[in-house]
Structure 1
Amino acid sequence: MKYNLAFRYRIYPNEIQANLILQTFGCVRFVYNKILSKAKEIYELEGKNKVITPASLKSEFPFLKEVDSLSLANAQMNVKIAFTNFFQKRTAFPKFKSKKTARKSYSTNSVNNSIRIESTFLKLPKLGLVKIKLHRDIPQNYKIKSATISQEPNGAFYVSILTEFQRDIKEVPSDNNIVG
C-alpha cells in the first residue's frame, strides 16, 4: 500500500532566489485570479465548469515565463478543485486571492528527479540549489512527489516536501479466528 508523508524544513535562499520565490508567489496568485475570473465568466454565460490553462496567459503576460510552470499549473488545478467543490455543493463559490491576506506559498511537482536533496542543499526547479536545514533525513526508499515553498509573516522561508512510500501490511489474525 502506498502512503504519503510530508517533511517540513527551513530553507535559506540567497537574494536572487528569494526574489524569484516572491515573484512566483505573485505570479501564482495572479494566474489563480485570472483563471478564476475567466471561469466565473464562462460559468455566468454557459453555466459550465470550464477552466483555462496558464499557457494561454503567457503570450499576454510574458513575465509568467520567468517562474516555474508547474507552480502555475498547480494554481490552475486549485481553481479546478475549487469549482468542482462548488458544483458538488461542498463549499461556497471560489474567492479571489488578495495580495494582502493570501498565504504566500506555491507548490511544484517533481518531474524526472527535479526536486532532490544534495548534501545541505535542496534542488528546486528554476531556483537551483537552495540551502536547507535538514534536521531529519528523508528515508532512502521515500520518493519525493512535490514541494511547497512558503514564507512566514516574519520573512522566514520553509519547504514542505511531500513523499510517497510503499508499506506492506501483513494481515493480523482477528480474535475470532483463535480457537481456545
Structure 2
Amino acid sequence: MYKAYKYRIYPTDDQKASLAKAFGCCRWYWNFALNLCQETYLKTGKGLSRGYILGLLPGLKKEYPWLTDAYSQSLQVVALNLSTAYKNFFEKRAQLPRFKSKHGRQSLSYPANVKFEGDYIKLPGKIGLVYCHRHREFEGTIKTVTVSQNSDGQYYASVLVDDGKETPSQSTEGKAVGIDVGLTHFAITSDG
C-alpha cells in the first residue's frame, strides 16, 4: 500500500539556485509540450502520445543546453504528468491542462535515486544533501519524491512510500449509519 509523507526541507542558497533552475526547466518543458499538443490538435484533430513527447527531449537538450540543469528523470516525469492530465480531462475527472507560471507554487519529481541519510535527504543531480526535518519515520521503499516550493518560499519534500502491505478490503458486513449535522440538532443518525 502506498503512503505519502511530507517533510519540510531547508536547502542552502546554492541548492535553492539549483532548485530554481530545475523548477524552471520542468516548467518550460511542460509549457512547450502543452503548446505543441494544443497546436497539433488544432491542425490534425489528434493529440500527441507520451512517447512522442519524451522523444523530443534529446533534441531539445541539444537546442537548449540549459535544460541539462534539471535531472533527466524529472523531465521525463513532466511528460508522464502531462499525458495523465490529458487522460483525466478526457475521462471528465479534471479540467483541461493549463500552462504553468513561474509565480506561485513550483515543483519537480524524482522517480528514483533519492535516499535519506540521517537528517538529510539526498537528491540526485546537482542538488545533493539537503537538511530535512523528519517528524515521522516511515518503513518501505521510496517510489517518488516531489520537491516543491510554495508561494511563501518554503520548501517541502513529499515522499511516496510503498510499505509492502496489501490495501485493506472494504467490508460490506455490519450495519452502516449515516450522520447528518443540522442546525436545530447537533447530529441526527439515519437509524433515529
Q: TM-score, normalising length from structure 2?
A: 0.78
Which residue in 2 is equivalent to 1:86? 89
Q: TM-score, normalising length from structure 1?
A: 0.83
Find the aligned partners of 1:79 and 1:14 in 2 and give their Cα distance.
30
1:117 maps to a residue whose letter is F
Query: Matched residues, percent identical?
Result: 36
Find the aligned partners of 2:133 and 2:93 in 1 and give their Cα distance.
39
> Are the equivalent residues in 1 in contact too, given 2:115–2:121 (CA < 8 A)?
yes
Deviation at 1:72, TM superposition (A): 1.0
1:88 maps to a residue whose letter is E
Which residue in 2 is equivalent to 1:59? 62
Which residue in 2 is equivalent to 1:105? 107
Deviation at 1:84, TM superposition (A): 2.1
Alignment coverage as a number of residue pairs: 167
1:104 maps to a residue whose letter is Q
Deviation at 1:89, TM superposition (A): 4.2
| Alignment CA distance shift 1:151-1:91 (3 Å) | closer
Which residue in 2 is equivalent to 1:122? 121
Any stretches of 5+ residues in structure 1 without a counterpart? 176-180
Q: How is 1:13-92 mapped onto 2 (pairs within 5 angstroms)?
A: 13-51=11-49, 52-53=53-54, 54-92=57-95
> Are the equivalent residues in 1 in contact too, given 2:7–2:158 (CA < 8 A)?
yes
| Alignment CA distance shift 1:161-1:46 (3 Å) | same
Find the aligned partners of 1:95 and 1:44 in 2 and give their Cα distance.
16
1:105 maps to a residue whose letter is S
Deviation at 1:104, TM superposition (A): 0.9
Deviation at 1:29, TM superposition (A): 0.8
> Are the equivalent residues in 1 in contact too, given 2:21–2:70 (CA < 8 A)?
yes
The root-mean-square deviation of aligned C-alpha atoms, in Å, is 2.3
1:50 maps to a residue whose letter is L
Match of 1:166, SS state, is coil
Match of 1:59, SS state, is helix
Question: Which structure's relative contact order is higher, taking Cα pairs within 8 Å and 6+ residues apart?
Answer: 1
2:97 maps to a residue whose letter is P
1:84 maps to a residue whose letter is K
Which residue in 1 is equivalent to 2:152? 154
